[in-house]
Every structure is written in structure tokens, then in C-alpha cells.
Amino acid sequence: MKRLTLGSALLVVVVAAATVFSGAAASSPNRRLATITVDTLPIANALPLDLGIKKGFFQAQGLDINKRTLQSGNDVVLALANHNGEIGYLGWVPMMIARTTGIKLTAVAASEVEGTSVADNWQNILVKGSSSIRTAKDLAGKTIAVNALKGVGEVMIKAALKKEGVDPGSIKLLPLPFPSMRSALQNGQVDAIWVPEPFLSQALNNDGARIVMAPGPVLGKFWPIGGYAALADWSKSNPDLARKFRAAINQSLTYAQGHPSEIRELLPAGSQNVRLPIWSPVVDLAKLLQLAKYAKEYDVISTLPNLTQLIPSSISGGKNLQGTVGDRFIALRLDGRAVKTLPAGKYTFVVTDASKTQNFQLAGPGVHKQTSVRGIGRSTWTVTLKKGRYTFSSSGRPRLNATFRVT
């Protein structure tokens, strides 16, 4: 079998042993549960699975989760290929590499996306505080540390640089383990590092590093990163189990996004104040296709994967919308553009409420959601929009109000 080169686009935080839950612990002795072995990774992005087990979401679907923690997306792909596990958590790029090298994975559920800007993104390119590198254009000709070559880091960095007008062929990528990158930056071995959390916060807070670029948000708001997959044969033979797992993990993702403090409680002490990803049960198929094209352009995959086979119709295709409310403004955007009309379907609203005197309300056919007037923070709602008129507004003063139509 050809060895896969699987890059990590994930928030790397070692999860304490105390946070590894087993579905069996919450099982009722009077109810027979179907066991699914899930191969996952010791990173915070995967913690909605743990939280969902703890909250009983999988038990409610009649499932007992036997969780096996592996160390890389490569390990997850090979474990599934060798039938050592039924479902695996990994990035979209590793799924594409597997699919195009003869390992027929198919997605079971979505998981997380990146943020919208340098300010809220959890994996970025950093430079020393004293560096003369100030913008993406200053990275031309420089050496950037990545955790692996021919992986998602290389794909996203090169694609983002090209979009910013920088020749991606001008940079040198040096593969280093994430834990070694901070010292490599400080001693001048590299000019910049591409790191996720917790290394991002450690470099910013302890080393005085600066963020010079967030590749994901450059490519698009809420850029898709990871999900859950299984061998196509298993999904075909076990459609009911796949459906129940998808329902439970989608509930877990939604709950985790709405209760970040409960996710942070699962992290080791000292790592609880990192930037968390945005979890969403919908897959933006247009962005996923673009990611595949970038992977092919930069020789990470040799052919484009068949996305119809990788993403079955049972997974909700949809978009992530950015809602914002301040003291005197309210906005709703899709990929940075104001929303006026939308096709009917499923959407995830990621709402940033930055005001203690306003709130964000969404109302329309079958939907009524709102944030607190006095509270601030981020709220996420995944809803199905039907044909009709929707209003997003605030109940504070001055009154803020706008509408869009769903067709």
C-alpha cells in the first residue's frame, strides 16, 4: 500500500486521560447497545465526541462508543483500511488522499471549520515580534515551518499566498513537529511557523510572537477542516448505525458550540483558554471542492476525488453564515457579502454578539433564535430555512432591523 502523507490542520492539544470517556459507562444495564469503535485523535477539535458520550447523546441513539485514540490522520486512515475501527475522525485532506489512493472512505458526518479572521482563527502563521515580516507579501522567499510536507498545511499556505499575490513557489517549507516550532522560530532556523492551538497561544503570550497571516480565512470564511468517515462498504452494510452515529455527533457538535465552557473543562489545566474551532454539522460543498482543487494544484493528490462518493446525500450540504451585532449595527454575511436572498436549505449561523445593550434575533418560518441583550460572546445555530421572509434584528435601543428572503 502506498504510504499516505497526511497533514494536520487541527488544534493539537493533548487530552488528559480523565477526559477519555466510554459510552459503556453511561449505558443502562437494561438496554442493549450497539457498539461502534471510533478511531479519533488526542486533540481538542475532537472533544465534542467525548462531550456527547458524557451527555448521553450516543446512548440515546442506542450506541456504545468504544473510543480508540491514535496519533495522526495517517493512523486513522490505515486503521479503518485494516478494519481496526468502524468510524474515524480526521481532516478532509487526509480523506481525499485516502480516496484517491484506493482506500474508499465515505464521510459519515462533518465536524469543524476555521474562523473568519486573524482575530478568531485557531491556526495561523506566526513570526517573531522583532521580525521585519509584516504582511503576507513579506513571506516571499522565506522559510516557513509546517508539521508535514504534502499535507493540508502546505495546501492552505500556498493557496492563501497565491491569493495574496505571492508566488507560492518562492517559499521554502521545513517540516517540524509542532512542539519544536517555537524554538525553531526563536533561534532563527525558520522565518515563520504555521501552528494551531495550543502552540499559537503559547507563542503569542510567552514568546511575543505576532500573527502575520491566517491562511484559512484568506481562502474563505469558515473554511472546512475535518469530519468523521468510514469505509464505504461499512456504511453501505450498516446504514442504521451510520444514521444513528450522525444524529448523535451532530447533536454533540451543536451542544459543544453552544457550551464552550463544558469543552474547556475537558482540557488539561493550563490549556483551557485556547481558541476553539467552530463546530458545524453542515458541509460547504463548494469550499470542499475548492480545497480538493488546491490539493491537486500543489501535488498533494494526483486526481480530484469524487465528492459525490466522499460526501453522501445523507450529510447535510449547507453554508455557514456570519452574524454580527454591535451597539449601533447588525449584519448577516455569507463569505463576506451581505445576505439578501438565500436558497432554502440547512444553514449554520455563527453569531458574534459584541454588545451589552443589543442582541441578535433571527425570526422567520419555523425559526426563532436570539442571543441575550446583556450578554456578549459567540452563539451558533444550525437551522433549516424554508421559503419566506426572515428578519434579523435587535430588541435593544436603538432598534436594529434587517430582512432577507429564502427562495
Say what angle helices 285-297 and 92-100 make with each other, to 10 degrees. Answer: 60
Contact in structure between 156 and 163 (CB atoms under 8 Å): no
Per-residue pLDDT tens for 79-117?
A: 999 999 999 999 899 999 999 999 999 999 999 999 999
- With vertex at residue 314, the alpha carbon angle to CA 309 and CA 317, rounded to the nearest 5 degrees, is 85
Q: Residue 4 domain-assigned?
A: no
**Torsion sign, CA atoms 224, 229, 233, 235:** negative
Q: Residue 200 domain-assigned?
A: yes
Distance CA 277, CA 281 (A): 13
- Tell me: do 176 and 107 sit in the same domain: no
Contact in structure between 157 and 146 (CB atoms under 8 Å): yes
- Tell me: do 258 and 230 sit in the same domain: yes
Tell me the residue ranges of DSSP E strands in 133-236.
143-146, 172-175, 192-196, 210-213, 224-231
Q: Residue 144 domain-assigned?
A: yes
**Torsion sign, CA atoms 119, 124, 127, 133:** negative
Tell me the residue ranges of DSSP E strands in 92-140.
105-113, 123-127
- Tell me: do 106 and 29 sit in the same domain: yes
Bridge partners (DSSP) of residue 332 are 323
- Tell me: do 235 and 212 sit in the same domain: no
Q: Residue 145 domain-assigned?
A: yes
Length of the chain: 407
Distance CA 257, CA 4 (A): 32
Which pLDDT value is given to residue 172?
A: 97
Bridge partners (DSSP) of residue 87 are 38
360: CATH:
2.60.40.420
Q: Residue 256 domain-assigned?
A: yes
Which pLDDT value is given to residue 272?
A: 76
Bridge partners (DSSP) of residue 226 are 91, 112
Per-residue pLDDT tens for 308-346?
A: 999 998 887 889 999 999 999 999 999 989 999 999 999
Domain boundary, last residue among 219, 236, 271: 219
**Torsion sign, CA atoms 382, 386, 391, 396:** negative
How many beta carbons lie within 10 A of that of residue 170, not counting itself?
11
- Tell me: do 175 and 33 sit in the same domain: no
Which pLDDT value is given to residue 340?
A: 96
65: CATH:
3.40.190.10
- Tell me: do 23 and 108 sit in the same domain: yes
Phi and psi at 88, nearest 5°, equal -130, 145
Close Cβ partners of 65 (under 8 Å, ≥ 6 residues apart): 22, 23, 35, 36, 38, 49, 53, 58
- Tell me: do 109 and 241 sit in the same domain: yes
Which parts of the chain register pLDDT below 50? 1-28
Domain boundary, last residue among 288, 310, 332: 310
Contact in structure between 285 and 311 (CB atoms under 8 Å): yes
Which pLDDT value is given to residue 25?
A: 42
Distance CA 53, CA 27 (A): 10
Distance CA 132, CA 315 (A): 45
b/e per residue 91-117 (b: at least 16 CB within 10 A): bbbbbbbbbbbebebbbbbbbbbbbbe
Distance CA 355, CA 391 (A): 19
Q: Residue 341 domain-assigned?
A: yes
- Tell me: do 211 and 227 sit in the same domain: no
Q: 69: which 3 cell numbers?
A: 485514540
- Tell me: do 133 and 145 sit in the same domain: yes
DSSP secondary structure of 338-371: E-SEE-SEEEEEEEEE--SS---EEEETTEEEE-
The helix or strand, by DSSP H or E, that contains position 324, with its residue range, turns out to be strand 318-325
- Tell me: do 108 and 233 sit in the same domain: yes
- Tell me: do 135 and 91 sit in the same domain: no
Phi and psi at 326, nearest 5°, equal -125, -170
Q: Which residue has the cell 469543524?
A: 112
Q: Residue 5 domain-assigned?
A: no
What is the number of structural domains in the chain? 3
**Torsion sign, CA atoms 4, 236, 51, 351:** positive
Domain boundary, last residue among 292, 310, 328: 310
Domain assignment of residue 373, given as a range: 318-406
Contact in structure between 340 and 389 (CB atoms under 8 Å): no
Q: Residue 255 domain-assigned?
A: yes
